[in-house]
Structure 1
């Protein structure tokens, strides 16, 4: 079966988007029974609702809330729930952690508290039989809070990270939706010839840090372009002050200064294979999230470590760089490319005297 996966990587030896990146699939947004904004994910990746499910003395309203939290087309292993900070019905205001709000709607959740989820009901019923979920016959153990590392603790967790999932269509260098890839940022440089220039992109990973490529912050780019001085967030079309899609308009992009630049200490700009081509940028202020500015969900924040990708995996490249058939684009673009077998990639680059190592990934045509 063909799998479509978005994985964050910072540098590829060959790509058609000069400041694009590859991304991991992000969960769909949803509203829970209390109308709080959340993410549609596997119940195994939503620890707060999983704890309700495993509670031996769960009350009737708890299980009703669990059933009403079911959502469709989620991320990960079925069944799916709309994951927020809620564990039961509330009568409070409907603001979520990021300031989003929505009034109760009988349209989104017809039937209200009586809405039934057969798959979750089977699990919530007596005995708490977790083995039956998904029909695997094996118990799936999600990550527990006790095993969280200090590094992972600084990363936002569902539902505070990720963006709107639009579709799984295959695009050939087409425009991204206005609110797709809200973690993408443009890096701004003071050109040696004067003025500002955007020549690289990065990914917002929490409210203070951006992940990018080391070659975007040190080495040849400093001589050819200039000094990195800022980050632009919430950008879509670089030629417009306000970006709209016919239904709504996004807030204006914002510019933020840089407090610190941290390239990988083993990155060498003159290395042909660009190994360790990764860097962090610490912003000079905390960022408030919105529909057009949200951090990406990194793997440690959404799921357990995964095995090597399957050979039929597709990756999505996104950015403002050159596509296959056109020059640099002013509008955020996206393009799907296939995984290339590592041994095949190594043979190809060996002909160019470039050594591709095992911790690198090749994708493209």
Structure 2
């Protein structure tokens, strides 16, 4: 059959779809006659595998017809939506039903101490380089009881970092138990890591391309209704998110972490209390320069530029957007690359675009 491109499938399917396109997130029937949901082809692992098999001439004889019949919507200048069978094993069933919920709706975020209940999905990575003492090396974010999402560059081979454990449920580093306004949180959980899953193409074709990693914990974190809650992934369809990736631009996102609060790269100052800040997501001249080495602009998001920033030690931590009423949080970015001097005016940082990598994340989750 030769190499098959998704674009070919789109063209072949357009005639059949004229006047009868299925809305994203709606029920549908796939090319095998199975009930499913109309979602982005990137979020449907079975059809992704079928496309790959067709490209390498290892697909079934009727593979092209199955793929063509599975296209449920054609959107201008976007990848096709496909009917993905509900039992297709996309990893969605491993995402928590309750996610992104915090005990706080109203937050004041301006590079200040975070309230105790603000970010119940935060994680801290503890490790050490060869011959060096243990230290907090990176941040991360809990996406279900067994997995933490972080940045791949935290484990660069040149650093020779030995990851010791992940801490879940931390707020104030110097206290054994964190309390605020008469409310005390459960003790923080230090959990060993069973597996580090770095993106297989991290560092290619550019130095920090595909800067994303998953940590599989040795045992599930103990969840708590208000103190330890996984964050939501921006999966397709984003039912509770109320906006798509195309609408990220112009939004103001939250970032949080225990990274340096100093503007000087030579004198990092590690805060005792979890910090939070509001950062605008936008693409301008600075962003264009930052993304110049990335073949695909969708791999990253640009945020910051108003004298507020993430900094050394925040790597791997989340960039968070909430739904319109502020009751549910979604991780849309992972702190990746920042300026040498943090928080300067007219500078920005790059955040790995989680929405783009959702298919890779779901593919690597297991019970």
- TM-score, normalising length from structure 2? 0.53
Distance in 2, matches of 1:292 and 1:207, equals 13
Which residue is equivalent to 1:287? 221
The answer to whether the 8 Å contact 1:215/1:221 transfers is no
Structure 2, unaligned stretches of length 5 or more? 1-24, 26-82, 306-367
Query: Kindly tell me: are residues 356 and 246 of structure 1, through their superposed partners in 2, closer, same or farther at Cα, counting changes over 3 Å?
Result: farther
Which residue is equivalent to 2:270? 328
- Name the SS of the counterpart of 2:289 in structure 1: helix
Of 230, 234, 252, the residue aligned with 2:187 is: 252
Dislocated runs of 4+, deviation >3 Å: 143-149, 167-170, 269-272, 323-326, 347-350, 354-357
Which residue is equivalent to 2:331? none
Say which structure, 1 or 2, has more relative contact order (CA 8 Å, 6+ apart): 1
- Name the SS of the counterpart of 1:193 in structure 2: coil
The answer to whether the 8 Å contact 1:171/1:336 transfers is yes
Q: Report which of the two has the higher share of strand.
A: 2
Which residue is equivalent to 1:358? 297
Query: Kindly tell me: are residues 178 and 144 of structure 1, through their superposed partners in 2, closer, same or farther at Cα, counting changes over 3 Å?
Result: farther
- TM-score, normalising length from structure 1? 0.53
The structural deviation recorded for 1:219 is: 2.6
1:216-231 residue pairs with structure 2 within 5 A?
216-222=154-160, 226-231=161-166
1:90-101 residue pairs with structure 2 within 5 A?
none
Which residue is equivalent to 1:205? 143
Distance in 2, matches of 1:338 and 1:324, equals 20
Tell me, yes or no, if structure 1 residue 316 matches structure 2 residue 254. yes
The count of residues paired between Structure 1 and Structure 2 equals: 217
Superposed CA deviations along residues 274-311 of structure 1, whole A, max 9, x for unmatched, are: 11000011111122201222111112288247141254
1:51-62 residue pairs with structure 2 within 5 A?
none
Distance in 1, matches of 2:123 and 2:117, equals 13
The answer to whether the 8 Å contact 2:189/2:221 transfers is no
Query: Kindly tell me: are residues 211 and 168 of structure 1, through their superposed partners in 2, closer, same or farther at Cα, counting changes over 3 Å?
Result: same
Which residue is equivalent to 1:339? 281
